[in-house]
A = this chain, B = another copy of it.
Amino acid sequence: MASSSSLHLSQALLARAVYLHGSSSSDRVSLSFPSFSGLKSHSTCKAAAATSSRRRGACPSTNVVRAAAVETLDQTTEVSLVEKSVNTIRFLAIDAVEKANSGHPGLPMGCAPMGHILYDEIMRYNPKNPAWFNRDRFVLSAGHGCMLQYALLHLAGYDTVQEQDLKEFRQWGSRTPGHPENFETLGVEVTTGPLGQGIANAVGLALAEKHLAARFNKPDNEIVDHYTYVILGDGCQMEGISNEACSLAGHWGLGKLIALYDDNHISIDGDTEIAFTENVDQRFEALGWHVIWVKNGNTGYDEIRAAIKEAKAVKDKPTLIKVTTTIGFGSPNKANSYSVHGSALGAKEVDATRKNLGWPYEPFHVPEDVKKHWSRHTPEGAKLEAEWNAKFVEYEKQYSEEAAELKAIITGELPAGWEKALPTYTPESPADATRNLSQQNLNALVKVLPGLLGGSADLASSNMTLLKSYGDFQKNTPEERNVRFGVREHGMGAICNGIALHSPGFIPYCATFFVFTDYMRAAIRISALCEAGVIYVMTHDSIGLGEDGPTHQPIEHLASFRAMPNTLMLRPADGNETAGSYKVAVVNRKRPSILALSRQKLTQLPGTSIEGVEKGGYTISDNSSGNKPDVILIGTGSELEIAAAAAEDLRKEGKAVRVVSFVSWELFDEQSDEYKESVLPASVTARVSIEAGSTFGWHKIVGSKGKAIGIDRFGASAPAGKIYKEFGITKEAVIAAAKELS
């Protein structure tokens, strides 16, 4: 079985490491640590021994990291200095949480060793340019432990996290918020905190790397080449989204994704025994991952190093390194308990921890030798970037076409005139479902947008999302651009967030039925918060889908996204509006766009336009004069044609009727007061809206005297036309309402 062999391999490696260092069992339990800075540090061992009997931290007696064990470390580092650095990380976290009297010290204290090794020994980055393209990516999926990341960024020399920032942890306007936020802190790749999102983002980051490498690397120039590292905890592991994303990571063979699982057996409610007794190793093996267990994550630096080395050697599978740690390591009275998870230790316990770990310094102090040790990352990072820049110059010379494409993805600059690729339609164009029109747009855009790629959650043939000129992104064809997410909406959304945040020029799209945004809402909210311009292609957007019935018919979804900040909810009515929606979605790289698209055929309406969509709401037809219609009919999506038909009838009866398409409330809100008045004059209170969804929110548009026609109940299973009629989403209803009001 694959499982046992991969575990055996790692155990063998670790056993060898222990053997090389000549430790005996008595060494490991009772011998004191080598001293540093004149302080006795055997207390560290005591701390480890004082905690869980199940997970005793063994104290290795090694003095020096053997260069052989860690390929990226080019000089040996004294264990004493490593430990001092690790304790610096611990105390920066302890002190910041203490000062804020809020935060999560437990994870940083337990994960400081792996954090140190990643940022000091393994990862390639340039602290003075956090956006350097070819950097290794790091994601703290267990985002509550953000002080770990802030401490590491601080030590590594990122300007965004200086001492003052640490002192302002969790305060108004600081760059060190309560969870890692990429839009607040350069050096943070993604926004985490909601559990499981980060590991799924990391799958997206690793997908992006694998895709670009396959597309752009040349035998003589591997211009794309970085790893994605993650630290995730028990909470992330319990969330379904992580299983979804990790199943895909295994399927895609993302060999450069290395996840360190902080296996501390404690969650907020206590020991994980109360709710989490599955065999995580075995599950990950089932998902196609390589799995390694580091038994002593507290002080087993060599174990951690060997595991990462092994992980990097496995090219065809992602690796999960289960690192068993003690939460709150070093705290004599709170380690290994939930009490250290999410609250400040308290002055007394901070003192006790200082004593226990032999830490004589003032809060927030970084010892000089630690500072000096880490200072090399600034020149080294600059060098890494300079080398890569030189490599890119070579690449550009030899492969100018590819270089231009790659550059567009790296910079996010849209090719000049890209929008000319958008298809246009006339009222004579055949009636069609907006989901089909969407596919025309996607296939037109992919020819001009090098960063466009995406797919559906197993509904490609219903969502109409296939890029016809490309194959599938798969393990052995990662250069392709159709991504097959399987029935994993939540993972899909979070993976797209990762792709979008990998490089500004990526424009990921993903698709499912609109109602199933409920499965991925947490990921969509993160798109909005973390400014990831993901395009959500959401078809079957109303009762218009018919027979599948109420489980599949969205009702409240339009309203629910209109209420979500920094989100563009677009519901185009026909071909031109679909093209307009794509134009808006492509341009808006810092907010997600959700396109609600019909299953059923819709007429191409006179008066619709791309420019109209860009304004959010606009008049498509009007027989009034002086901005004084008798009544304004407002529709979106598939109901705009109903409003237009009603207007035609009303006009025949002599009414002055304006028809307004309200394709995006957010965009309309952003227009000038003059423009808004030109579309919805305050003096015209006779307004009727029609939309096959909840009327919730429409009263702001139609006003106290207007009427909102919609559906404030669940749908039904029947042919679509029948449901429309039974639910009163009809021309007749609009006409009746209009007559009542005007």
Residue numbers in B under 8 Å from A460 (CB-CB): 268-269
Q: Do A275 and B458 touch (CB < 8 A)?
A: yes
By size class, the interface of chain A is 35 or more
Stretch at the interface among A283-291, A416-424, A624-632: A283-291
Q: Do B563 and A550 touch (CB < 8 A)?
A: no
Closest Cβ of chain B: how far from A266's Cβ, in Å? 11
Residue numbers in B under 8 Å from A714 (CB-CB): 528-529, 565-566
Q: Do B278 and A172 touch (CB < 8 A)?
A: no
Known: A1-B4, A551-B179. A268 touches B461 (CB 8 A): yes
A314 is an interface residue with CB less than 8 A from chain B: no
Q: Do A285 and B288 touch (CB < 8 A)?
A: no
CB-based nearest B residue for A706? B704
Of A3, A566, A696, which is in contact with the most chain B CB atoms at under 10 Å from its CB? A696
Q: Would you list which residues of chain A between 693 and 742 have a CB under 8 Å from chain B? A: 694, 696-697, 699-700, 703-705, 712-714, 716-719, 722-723, 726
Residue-wise, chain A 250-283 has the 8 Å CB interface mask toward B (1 for contact) of 1100000000000000011100101111111111
Of A177, A456, A459, A519, which is in contact with the most chain B CB atoms at under 10 Å from its CB? A519
Residue numbers in B under 8 Å from A286 (CB-CB): 278-283, 285-286
> A interface vs B, CB < 8 Å?
1, 3-4, 100, 102-103, 143, 170-174, 177-179, 181, 191-196, 234-236, 238-244, 247-248, 250-251, 267-269, 272, 274-283, 285-288, 338, 456, 458-462, 472, 474, 484-491, 515-516, 518-519, 521-522, 525-526, 528-529, 546-552, 555-556, 559-560, 562-566, 694, 696-697, 699-700, 703-705, 712-714, 716-719, 722-723, 726
CB-based nearest B residue for A237? B487
Q: Do A565 and B238 touch (CB < 8 A)?
A: no
Closest Cβ of chain B: how far from A291's Cβ, in Å? 11
A-B interface, 5 closest residue pairs, ranked by CB to CB distance from nearest: A240-B240, A275-B486, A177-B717, A282-B286, A193-B551
Across the interface, A516 reaches (CB within 8 A) one of B194, B243, B515, namely B194
Q: Do B172 and A718 touch (CB < 8 A)?
A: yes
Interchain residue pairs with CB less than 8 A apart (7): A102-B546, A269-B460, A282-B282, A282-B285, A338-B461, A562-B696, A699-B699
Known: A555-B565, A563-B697. A277 touches B268 (CB 8 A): no
A249 vs B235: C-alpha distance when bound (angstroms): 18
Q: Do A282 and B3 touch (CB < 8 A)?
A: yes
Across the interface, A235 reaches (CB within 8 A) one of B235, B272, B458, namely B458
Q: Do A697 and B559 touch (CB < 8 A)?
A: yes
CB-based nearest B residue for A195? B487
Residue numbers in B under 8 Å from A525 (CB-CB): 518
Known: A458-B238, A486-B267, A491-B240. A563 touches B552 (CB 8 A): no
Q: Do A179 and B717 touch (CB < 8 A)?
A: yes
A488 vs B241: C-alpha distance when bound (angstroms): 10
A293 vs B525: C-alpha distance when bound (angstroms): 40
A179 vs B458: C-alpha distance when bound (angstroms): 18
Residue numbers in B under 8 Å from A276 (CB-CB): 247, 251, 486
Across the interface, A522 reaches (CB within 8 A) one of B239, B516, B716, namely B516
Residue numbers in B under 8 Å from A726 (CB-CB): 172
Across the interface, A565 reaches (CB within 8 A) one of B485, B547, B556, namely B556
Across the interface, A459 reaches (CB within 8 A) one of B268, B462, B556, namely B268
A172 vs B179: C-alpha distance when bound (angstroms): 49
Closest Cβ of chain B: how far from A415's Cβ, in Å? 30
